[in-house]
Structure 1
Amino acid sequence: MADNATPTIIKGLEGVYFTETKICKVDGFKGRLWYRGYSIESLAKNSSFEEVSYLILYGSLPNAEALSVFTKKLVSYMNLDSGIIGLVKMLSPNMLSMDVLRSAVSSLPAFADKKVYQSEAEEKLEESAEIIGRICGIVALMGRLKAGGEYVAPDQSLGVAQNILYMMTGKIPEDKVAKMLDVMMLLHAEHSSNASTFCTIVAGSTLADIYSAITAGICALKGPLHGGADEKALDMMRAIGNPDNTEKYIEEALDGKKRIMGFGHRVYKAYDPRAKVIKSYLEDIQNGSTMEVQTLTAIALRAEKMMVEKLGETKGIWPNVDFFSGPVYTYIGIPKELFTPLFAASRSPGWCAHMLEYWQDNRLIRPLDYYNGQLDIPYVPLDQRK
């Protein structure tokens, strides 16, 4: 393109492909999602967070022995060094949860147990397992501290989701509750080149280390247009207060052209398949939980029904994964302040896998921006400026 030609600007890089991948496929028009070729529906029904993390990182489902070894590895990394515990304790009273997580993850190289590996690929996979386990452990510690408790080490006989709840409460969770958290983490484990994954790859494309790249992903996830949407959706449900107020609240919000958090998606123009899975759990807990959860569930289901009828088929605005998450997390016992850190823990396998894949044929990501300002402005000395 000639220097004086005006380029086509693609705001937000929407619709622009920057790399190839075998990790994840999203079909936004049909509402489909696959991890390494496996549908999200089949994985949510049959798999676990540990198994999906292995699949995303290694490219295939593990056998029983490999899964057992990998699960034990993740759980062992959830056992935090005293230095990390001290850092999280120091930062937590004065910083937002995502800022604490970002700072703690960026400090992980100081506590890494460095070993000699036969290959660089083996080392990167081990670092990835460490990052996943450490983030899960840090999130659990943050929850424990918010509840006023002291650090609880993970139980090697439990899985990742079980241990997050165990480390937060000091009690082994009910199977149903732990399974629900496991599925929530599985559903959030990967989602192609979203904003945080793209930031991870951009940072890693400079050949920065994987800890720095994942820290960049956490920074991007913090924003309410990405990782914080489930918190905003829960705030809306609590503002509605009574299920009978739902339709009036939604109608007034739409009339005022306010955004209804948890609806619409940059890629999905159909019902988010992850939201469908979460909705099935919402219906399951509707009549068997606290009054708060029952109220939130009723509001969520009524709001979803109204929004689908008004905007689903006509505007292509459907519920996304964030909309139903709040009531489910509340049922599980996850405080709102930990929704986005838990999202980071869940997404860490995807971040790591994309970084490892991109490094196999790395090219520094360096897009262009079109300058439309003045040129050759005469310089005015400081003492002559008005």
Structure 2
Amino acid sequence: MQKGLKGIIAAETAISHIDGDEGKLIYRGYEINELNKYNFEEVAYLLWHGKFATDKELKHTKEELRKNRDLDQHLIEILTSLPTNMDMMSVLRTVISASGTSDFNWKPTISQAMKLTSIIPTIIAYRKRNTEGLPFIPPRQDLSHVENYLYMLNGIIPNPAQVKALESYMILTLEHGMNASTFSARVTASTESDLVSAITSAIGTMKGPLHGGAPSGVIDLLNEIALVGDAERVIRKKLDQKEKLMGFGHRVYKTHDPRSIALKETLLELVGQDEWLDLAIEVEEIAVKLLEEYKPGRSLYTNVEFYAAAIMKSIHLDPSLFTPTFTASRIVGWTAHVLEQAEDNTIYRPQSAYVGKLKNKQV
């Protein structure tokens, strides 16, 4: 028996593949580094449809995502009535659940997937500004998916370097195999429940710190290095004290995290345009060298959280929005898996091993 179903194959999928030994992540047959030149909408289409869009298909997809950005009035009323001490992931879970009208009856469709993908950034931005006592900034139809998200958060057209960095991060986190939240979505979908119910399950799972935890440790590391002004001194001190260096190493990837490599390639194109992105590149080079010195043969490289933290710092995103932003990208992978589950469905019904006591039978 494998606790937590570790190593157990629970489904066949054509959506993505992870090779932890070789450090590869594949979306629909394409290695992740091949996808860095595309935009969010193009890669989302690939995951939903299994192929890249033609110009006409891509135009339609962008139009659908844009026209679905506005929230229905009943969702706005729910958003503004929720307790101020409710965290953003709980807000997302509640509002997405409340969107489950008759429009989302079984069987799930790509149109439904696009609707949920469109409204999650709006929910996050609306809630953030509402709790800060600021007016809501309506979505703009002339901005891309990622650009519009940043615009709604802050009310200004974002720096192109910041858009490029965040878009790369979101593309690289759209999908990552049969992780806990994806499995949760597929289990719910396997009962022939609707798409909204499956995504509500996934969001509830993502909320857990063992799955969707924010890279706050990396933020602390970068802040400390920026304050001290000497990356090598800070990192050596931590390694001398046997502290874990946050943002390095991964449970699945035994070598380089391919998402981290792809993010770094993007950030190298942006050198000189943002101080936090520049700092991250400098810190990685020093940290990898010192980790090999202190822990030879361990092959500890940056994971996707390392550069994600730098990007979040760059765009001035509050740590409370890290996991919700992760959710705004992973919604594409979740919906793709629900659609795939519906195509050849069998309800999930694993067994458990009873380890309790047996009462003696009375003679």
Normalising by structure 2, report the TM-score. 0.89
Shift of 1:59: 1.1
Equivalent residues of 2:104, 2:112 under 8 A apart: no
Equivalent residues of 1:199, 1:213 under 8 A apart: yes
Letter in 1 for 2:31: S
Residue of structure 1 aligned with 2:23, choices 1, 20, 31: 31
Shift of 1:19: 1.0
Equivalent residues of 1:24, 1:190 under 8 A apart: yes
Q: Does residue 221 in structure 1 map to residue 206 in structure 2? A: yes
Equivalent residues of 1:274, 1:320 under 8 A apart: yes
Shift of 1:63: 0.8
Within-5 A mapping of 1:140-159 = 140-145=125-130, 148-159=133-144
Give the Cα–Cα distance (whole angstroms) in 1 for the partners of residues 69 and 305 of structure 2.
26
Residue of structure 2 aligned with 1:307, choices 291, 295, 314: 291
- Identity fraction in percent: 35
Q: Is the radius of gyration larger for structure 1 or structure 2?
A: 1
Q: Does residue 331 in structure 1 map to residue 322 in structure 2? A: no
Q: Which runs of 5+ in 2 are unaligned?
A: none
Equivalent residues of 1:247, 1:303 under 8 A apart: yes
Shift of 1:282: 4.3
Give the Cα–Cα distance (whole angstroms) in 1 for the partners of residues 292 and 88 of structure 2.
33
Q: Which runs of 5+ in 1 are unaligned?
A: 1-8, 380-386
Give the Cα–Cα distance (whole angstroms) in 2 for the partners of residues 301 and 146 of structure 1.
39
Shift of 1:289: 3.1
Equivalent residues of 2:68, 2:119 under 8 A apart: yes
Residue of structure 2 aligned with 1:89, choices 80, 97, 101: 80
Q: Does residue 173 in structure 1 map to residue 158 in structure 2? A: yes
Equivalent residues of 1:230, 1:322 under 8 A apart: yes
Tell me what 2:350 maps to: 367
Shift of 1:144: 3.3
Q: How large is the Cα RMSD of the aligned pairs?
A: 2.6
Tell me what 1:242 maps to: 228
Give the Cα–Cα distance (whole angstroms) in 1 for the partners of residues 112 and 234 of structure 2.
46
Residue of structure 2 aligned with 1:98, choices 69, 89, 106: 89
Tell me what 2:66 maps to: 75
Shift of 1:361: 1.6
How many residues align structurally? 359
Give the Cα–Cα distance (whole angstroms) in 2 for the partners of residues 263 and 221 of structure 1.
21
Residue of structure 2 aligned with 1:18, choices 6, 10, 30: 10
Give the Cα–Cα distance (whole angstroms) in 2 for the partners of residues 96 and 47 of structure 1.
32
Equivalent residues of 1:282, 1:327 under 8 A apart: no
Bigger mean CA offset, 345-354 vs 25-34: 25-34
Within-5 A mapping of 1:50-129 = 50-91=41-82, 93-110=84-101, 114=103, 124-129=109-114
Shift of 1:348: 0.5
Change (3 A) 1:198 1:330: same
Change (3 A) 1:232 1:86: farther
Q: Secondary structure at the match of 1:267?
A: coil
Shift of 1:179: 2.1
Give the Cα–Cα distance (whole angstroms) in 2 for the partners of residues 249 and 287 of structure 1.
28
Give the Cα–Cα distance (whole angstroms) in 2 for the partners of residues 115 and 343 of structure 1.
23
Give the Cα–Cα distance (whole angstroms) in 1 for the partners of residues 300 and 4 of structure 2.
19
Equivalent residues of 1:242, 1:299 under 8 A apart: no
